[in-house]
Amino acid sequence: MQTVCRNAFFIILCTITTAYAQPAGKVYETRVVKSSILERDVRYSIYLPADYETSDRKYPVVYLLHGYTDDNTGWLQFGEVNRYADKAIADGAIPPMIIVMPNADSSWYINAYDGKEKYEDFFVKEFIPTVENTYHIKAEKKYRGIAGLSMGGYGTLIYALKYPQLFAAAAPLSAAVFDDTAVVNTPADRYDGIFGQLYGRNLKGRDRLNKDWYDNSVLKIIEKKSADELRKVRYWIDCGDDDFLTKGNCLLHIALSEKRVPHEYRVRDGAHTWTYWRTGITDALKFIGDSFHQY
């Protein structure tokens, strides 16, 4: 009787262990692209799905952008994106995909007004082609998505709006979207410390609303584009109800709605925190993953 019980217990234990086991993807925390545009090496992290080494297939790709003051390791260290991707792939919630996380320092992913930093040119002309020639990636718009948080959410929107030929879907989380009033009223020290490098230093009041600002204003770009242009990319917008960026995301939702551009808009309970982004990344990746399917 004891032998039977022990055997039964062993079978149950094995069953439970197997049920909870899931294939783990491979992570490279620090790899480098040598940039002639930026004249320096640019670090990036990358997540490869569990079957990458054993499969002959090519994979869709998501470029996942970090926030202000963070770096390419943020989504791994604090967001645990590899763990969430492993589970979502194992559950069938998202297709196997490669996730690429570039380092952008505090560039906001755009070209600076004075030409000293051309991160946008680097990302489009050097980074994407280099990565997609290095790994087994389906290098087509319909298999390419982009996502990010805060500053990375802003970068996500900028790239999707400026280069709709590159991305099937975009998922900005807590995106740093500001209207003209917010920019005009930003205290001088904060403006110069964060935005001066991008749009011009020592600018006051409405002098900040210059060409460099409008060329990179998410709301202004949407205002200028036609609905047909905007519909070329699928959008997933997610921002917490206690986030200081809620207003900008509401305005983004309104701007797209007024042009009747289909998009998903989510306001969940939460603030500008990693807890919020960790609990939202699976849905964001699922939305992008759905864009890779054919119907």
Output the pLDDT for position 294: 77
Looking at the domain assignment, is residue 201 inside a domain? no
Q: What is the structure's pLDDT at 18?
A: 43
In a domain, 34, yes or no: yes
Residue 50, in any domain of the structure:
yes
**Tens of pLDDT, residues 208-242:** 999 999 999 999 999 999 999 999 999 999 999 99
Report the CATH number at residue 80.
3.40.50.1820
Element (H, E) at 101: strand 98-102
227 CB-near residues (< 8 Å, 6+ apart)? 259, 260, 261
Flag whether 185 is in a domain: no
Low-confidence ranges of the chain (pLDDT < 50): 4-5, 11, 13-19
For the chain, the domain total comes to 1
Q: What is the pLDDT of residue 35?
A: 98
pLDDT at 14: 47
Whether 114 is in a domain gets the answer: yes
Say if CB 278 and CB 79 are below 8 A apart. Answer: yes
Contact indicator for 175, 154 with CB cutoff of 8 Å: yes
pTM score, whole prediction: 0.92
* CA angle 279–285–286, rounded 5-degree value: 100
Report pLDDT for 235.
98
Q: What is the dihedral of CA 167, 171, 173, 176, to 10 degrees?
A: 40
The residue range of the domain holding 260 is 2-178+217-291
Confidence (pLDDT) at 7:
57
- 3 state SS of 28: strand
Assess if residue 202 is contained within a domain: no
